[in-house]
Structure 1
Amino acid sequence: MIEDLSAPTVYIVDDEASVCRCLARMVRQARLEARTFSSAEEFLAARPAPWPHAACLILDLQMPGLGGLELQQALASDLAPCPVIFISGNGDIPSTVQAMRQGAVTFLTKPFDDQDLLKAVRDAIETHRTLIESTSQVQLLRRQIDSLTEREREVMAWVISGALNKQIADELGIAEQTVKVHRGRVMEKMHVVSVAQLVRISVAAGFEAALKQGV
């Protein structure tokens, strides 16, 4: 089981125990957490979901059972997919191209320079940290939107479109004062003080799609 979920962690998946030990030692010497797994299946069973902290995965391309490319595909559906660094002793060009198209950070052929690997690891961890933060923010915004009543969401959609209170009242068949009340509640629940802020966070949360459907 994966125990320490508080620090950035480098997960290492390779069916060769000696490779796992060598890479883990290198990672720890760089003052990073390291966890090793002998198969893709073992890693999938133990990985945290959703990812609570920044991480990256050093992954062997060819392994018995589930291969590196298949594991990369399985991780792609995660909320904030863990960046993958591929290593291989005999990586072919098609596999390299596929790995990169699927979003791999880099593809290193054994033997590789330790510093190249560590740089890729640090870059991947920083990328994942940013991704987790932005994903968490989007989730928060969507929870705020979910807290709105149906009428408040309708008003919010019109406000984002630039409509004035009187126009919104005419479109929804309600009093202008009622629109003002709903508008105030929207601003309060969404924790914004201006329409510009409301527009920005609505776009970030994907509410513009609801806007197109509702208006």
Structure 2
Amino acid sequence: MPDKPRIAVVDDDQALRDSLTWLLDSVGLSTLAYSDGEALLAAEPERHDVILLDVRMPGLSGLQVQQRLAERGDDTPVIFMTGHGDVPMAVQALKAGACDFIEKPFNHQQLIDTVQQALARHRRHREAQARLETLRARYADLRPKEQQILVHVAEGLTSREIAVELSISAKTVEVYRLRAMKALGAANLAELVRLCVALALVDCYPEEG
């Protein structure tokens, strides 16, 4: 993210856009204002870190804009701005993946807090995605036998059981497992299992018993 996170404000009300621009700029955020959903969709997705989106607008509605964003794989957090009577639509938007919604007229501090929370969540999400991509690349670089052993470790098999399964010695299993642990950055066996789960080598942690 840039030093000043960029907030898209999408509303057909010029006075509201100006007010929100002033408010967000006053707390160190950068604002990009759009008068309708079409203008937002025409902009580069990378320009925005959070989108403040009005539910009811001429042309595309907020829900339609949200759908278009999702269709093109844009995961920028969307916070809906709703007027009186729009709460059912806002709930529908939340079910479709919106981050939050706030009702007009706004409590300024509530709006700022909601935007900051969305920024923090999205930053954590991006960092987690980056870690997962790195982990996948490291896993892809492992030898096929090391990958097989990791799958069996994630399934809860012991080294001796893995040795029988792969028709190799238990010592060889240990050598490959330790090599894989080092490659993936796992400090211990429990951490290795968690990384295997993150890689979707198994659906969930193995059941005990």
User: Any stretches of 5+ residues in structure 2 without a counterpart?
Assistant: none
Partner of 2:23: 26
Shift of the 7–149 alpha-carbon distance from structure 1 to 2, 3 Å rule, reads farther
Is 1:59 aligned to residue 53 of structure 2?
Answer: yes
| 8 Å CA contact retained: 2:197, 2:205 | no
Quote the Cα distance in structure 2 between the aligned partners of 1:210 and 1:92: 39
Displacement of 1:6 in angstroms is 4.4
Quote the Cα distance in structure 2 between the aligned partners of 1:25 and 1:114: 11
After TM superposition, the structure 1 = structure 2 runs for residues 100-179 of structure 1, keeping only pairs within 5 Å, are 100-179=94-173
Identity score, percent: 35
Partner of 2:37: 40
Displacement of 1:30 in angstroms is 1.3
| 8 Å CA contact retained: 1:105, 1:120 | no
Q: Which deviations, in whole Å up to 9, do the C-alpha atoms of 1:9-56 show, x marking residues without a partner? A: 21111233333222111100111121222332332333435x9x9x32
| 8 Å CA contact retained: 1:80, 1:131 | no
Quote the Cα distance in structure 2 between the aligned partners of 1:77 and 1:153: 34
Displacement of 1:190 in angstroms is 0.7
Q: Aligned pair count?
A: 206
Quote the Cα distance in structure 2 between the aligned partners of 1:45 and 1:175: 60
* Aligned mate of 2:11, from 10, 14, 17: 14
Shift of the 79–157 alpha-carbon distance from structure 1 to 2, 3 Å rule, reads farther
Is 1:202 aligned to residue 202 of structure 2?
Answer: no
> What TM-score does the superposition give when structure 1 sets the normalisation length?
0.80
Is 1:192 aligned to residue 189 of structure 2?
Answer: no
Shift of the 164–30 alpha-carbon distance from structure 1 to 2, 3 Å rule, reads same
